[in-house]
Amino acid sequence: MTGSRRAIVAPVAGTTRDSLARPVVWQGSSFELFDTGGLYGASQDPLHALVVEQGRRAITDADLLVMLVDGREGLVSGDERIARELRESGRPILLAINKTDDKRAQNSMDFYRLGFEPVFEVSAEHGHGVAELLDEIVKRIGAEPPHELAAEANREVRVAIVGRPNVGKSSLVNRLLRAQRVLVSDMPGTTRDAIDVPLTWHRRRFRIVDTAGMRRPGRVASGGKVEMVSVSLAKEAIADADVVLLMIDASEGPADQDAAIGGEVDRAGRGIVIVVNKWDLVKARDTNVAKGFDDELRRKMRFLDYAPILHISALTGERASKVLETIDKVAAARAARVPTPALNKFVESITATNPPVSPGSRHVRILYAAQIGTAPPSFVFFTNVATTFHFSYERFLVNQLREKFGFVGSPIRIQVRRRKARNAPRQKN
Ligand code: GDP
């Protein structure tokens, strides 16, 4: 249904352990598909209870349920129990009989006894009947326009979480969900799949993107220890996001690679929040630890002086509630537009107190400014002569813009241009 083979398909019962949420676009409509990891039946899997819990949650969150049964096995007593439980949810239910391509699938008539209508005979592996099932799904849930067409106003904020392995990225996702949709455990490879995790907070919509990427190790060192995620891998996630959470382990401090990733976020014009995780491990040591830690962090990442720093514990939940709040602020700042009159007042006061230094004989004056873009906010300063600003003056302007208008966590771009010649007659020399 998603046109991908993202879920791990293998002939081993219980292979799909996570609840996977994936977007499906069909005939101009879109919806989100949750794949529960198999709800019922005995399992030796130590994570089975968690899988069942996730599945239950998926059922209560869903607008429509598709019950999938095995046409080769035929109706089994477990199916009737599942049907009963699904009915209790009060959600509309479609029944799909899978593996109907198989010669041995001869018992499909039995399934009609479950009393669902309509019944779809499909072959997930070969794709038979899937189009008809999708048609019915979009008909039932009503046409929601695909994401690209959705109004910019309540646009979903795409969030990438980057940082070294074991810094606590999955734990944070879990914490944000308050539901264990992503499984965390010390078993290697527990989170096996690419998942975009949707979240809602105060009616704002977020999507944690590329959670598979965040689990991808850069490479495995000779000792078998997983090294930190490489900058090039982080780049993909950064390019895909509006706001990046750069996670740093409080007990280890920032690494060179963290600074490199931060630089990439800045260059890409994405919003950034520095999340110092595992704060529970260091805070007991001394009360000034936060100040000392942040000073060191700022020193190593001077160019990210605009990034808010949060000290959290994904494990205990301490201050984790600040995370979405801060992402929301940063996303808003990145999309903000300064009204032109306010901007020109700003120019007036700047030029009165701190005009640009003139490199040549003619005085450089800033005449006015305009915001030419958002995400990130971009400004043009128009001057009387063609010039560029000194790096330090550019920095000064950026800092002043921040001070006056906010822009927390967002890079700001500025350009300088000579004011276009007016139609006035030319002055004689
Ligand atoms: P990821 O590789 O970045 O996704 O890291 P995980 O979320 O899998 O976490 C790695 C390990 O760090 C797990 O054993 C977690 O329980 C632990 N961990 C995560 N967050 C915290 C935290 O805030 N405090 C402490 N003490 N441990 C944490």
Adjacent-strand bridge partners of 35: 20
How far apart are the C-alpha atoms of 173 and 261, rounded to whole Å?
20
What is the whole-number distance in angstroms between the Cα of residue 103 and the centre of ligand 1? 48
What is the whole-number distance in angstroms between the Cα of residue 279 and the centre of ligand 1? 11
Alpha carbon nearest to ligand 1 atom 15, residue: 168
DSSP 428: P
In single-letter form, the type of residue at position 413 comes to R
Output the domain CATH number for residue 355. 3.30.300.20
Domain that holds residue 166: 155-334
Nearest-atom index, ligand 1, CA of 190: 8
Say what the pLDDT of residue 309 is: 96
What is the whole-number distance in angstroms between the Cα of residue 166 and the centre of ligand 1? 6
Residues 6+ away with beta carbon under 8 Å from 206: 156, 157, 158, 159, 198, 199, 200, 324, 327
What is the whole-number distance in angstroms between the Cα of residue 315 and the centre of ligand 1? 7
Nearest-atom index, ligand 1, CA of 161: 3
Q: Tell me which of 117, 146, 175 is where a domain ends.
A: 146
What is the whole-number distance in angstroms between the Cα of residue 108 and the centre of ligand 1? 46
Query: Looking at the structure, do residues 235 and 384 belong to the same domain, yes or no?
Result: no
Place of tokens 């509630």: 321
Nearest-atom index, ligand 1, CA of 186: 14
Query: Looking at the structure, do residues 160 and 233 belong to the same domain, yes or no?
Result: yes
- 401-407-412 Cα angle (round to 5): 65
Say what the pLDDT of residue 403 is: 92
- Looking at the domain assignment, is residue 1 inside a domain? no
How far apart are the C-alpha atoms of 43 and 49, rounded to whole Å?
9
How far apart are the C-alpha atoms of 49 and 61, rounded to whole Å?
19
- Looking at the domain assignment, is residue 395 inside a domain? yes
- Looking at the domain assignment, is residue 11 inside a domain? no
- CA dihedral in degrees (161, 164, 167, 173; nearest 10)? 20
Query: Looking at the structure, do residues 309 and 350 belong to the same domain, yes or no?
Result: no
Query: Looking at the structure, do residues 308 and 347 belong to the same domain, yes or no?
Result: no
What is the whole-number distance in angstroms between the Cα of residue 244 and the centre of ligand 1? 18
- Looking at the domain assignment, is residue 424 inside a domain? no
- CA dihedral in degrees (340, 345, 348, 354; nearest 10)? -100
Alpha carbon nearest to ligand 1 atom 19, residue: 168
Alpha carbon nearest to ligand 1 atom 10, residue: 166
What is the whole-number distance in angstroms between the Cα of residue 187 and the centre of ligand 1? 12
Say what the pLDDT of residue 172 is: 92
Residue of 47, 174, 184, 275 to mutate, ligand 1, most atoms within 8 A of C-beta: 184
Nearest-atom index, ligand 1, CA of 316: 23
Pocket of ligand 1 (CB under 6 A): 165-171, 184, 186, 277-278, 280-281, 313-315
Query: Looking at the structure, do residues 183 and 233 belong to the same domain, yes or no?
Result: yes
Nearest-atom index, ligand 1, CA of 281: 26
pLDDT, averaged per 10 consecutive residues of the chain (429 residues), comes to: 55 48 70 70 61 72 86 84 83 89 75 85 86 88 46 72 89 75 42 63 81 57 45 82 96 89 94 96 75 91 94 92 93 90 92 82 85 90 85 92 94 88 46
- If one counts the domains in the chain, the total is 3
Strands 243-249 and 157-162 turn out to be parallel
- 370-375-381 Cα angle (round to 5): 20
- Looking at the domain assignment, is residue 267 inside a domain? yes
How far apart are the C-alpha atoms of 97 and 85, rounded to whole Å?
18
3-state secondary structure of 155: coil
**Torsions phi, psi for 310 (to 5 deg):** -115, 140
Query: Looking at the structure, do residues 162 and 59 belong to the same domain, yes or no?
Result: no
Output the domain CATH number for residue 245. 3.40.50.300
Please count the residues of the chain: 429
Tell me if the pTM is above 0.75: no
Query: Looking at the structure, do residues 36 and 165 belong to the same domain, yes or no?
Result: no
What is the whole-number distance in angstroms between the Cα of residue 363 and the centre of ligand 1? 57
What is the whole-number distance in angstroms between the Cα of residue 278 and the centre of ligand 1? 7
Q: Tell me which of 314, 334, 354 is where a domain ends.
A: 334
3-state secondary structure of 125: coil
Query: Looking at the structure, do residues 104 and 182 belong to the same domain, yes or no?
Result: no
What is the whole-number distance in angstroms between the Cα of residue 167 and the centre of ligand 1? 6
What is the whole-number distance in angstroms between the Cα of residue 170 and the centre of ligand 1? 7
- Looking at the domain assignment, is residue 410 inside a domain? yes
What is the whole-number distance in angstroms between the Cα of residue 231 and the centre of ligand 1? 21
Residue closest to 380 by CA, chosen among 362, 354, 359, 401: 401
Query: Looking at the structure, do residues 252 and 113 belong to the same domain, yes or no?
Result: no
- Asked if 174 contacts 184 with a C-beta cutoff of 8 angstroms, the reply is yes
Query: Looking at the structure, do residues 316 and 398 belong to the same domain, yes or no?
Result: no
Adjacent-strand bridge partners of 369: 381
- Looking at the domain assignment, is residue 4 inside a domain? no
- Asked if 384 contacts 358 with a C-beta cutoff of 8 angstroms, the reply is no
DSSP 301: T
Nearest-atom index, ligand 1, CA of 171: 7
Say what the pLDDT of residue 191 is: 43
Alpha carbon nearest to ligand 1 atom 11, residue: 166
Say what the pLDDT of residue 42 is: 54
Query: Looking at the structure, do residues 238 and 271 belong to the same domain, yes or no?
Result: yes
How far apart are the C-alpha atoms of 341 and 132, rounded to whole Å?
56
Residue of 171, 211, 279, 315 to mutate, ligand 1, most atoms within 8 A of C-beta: 171
Q: Tell me which of 284, 307, 334 is where a domain ends.
A: 334
Say what the pLDDT of residue 189 is: 43
How far apart are the C-alpha atoms of 380 and 414, rounded to whole Å?
6
Query: Looking at the structure, do residues 261 and 185 belong to the same domain, yes or no?
Result: yes
Residue of 161, 166, 228, 277 to mutate, ligand 1, most atoms within 8 A of C-beta: 166
- Looking at the domain assignment, is residue 7 inside a domain? no
Nearest-atom index, ligand 1, CA of 174: 7
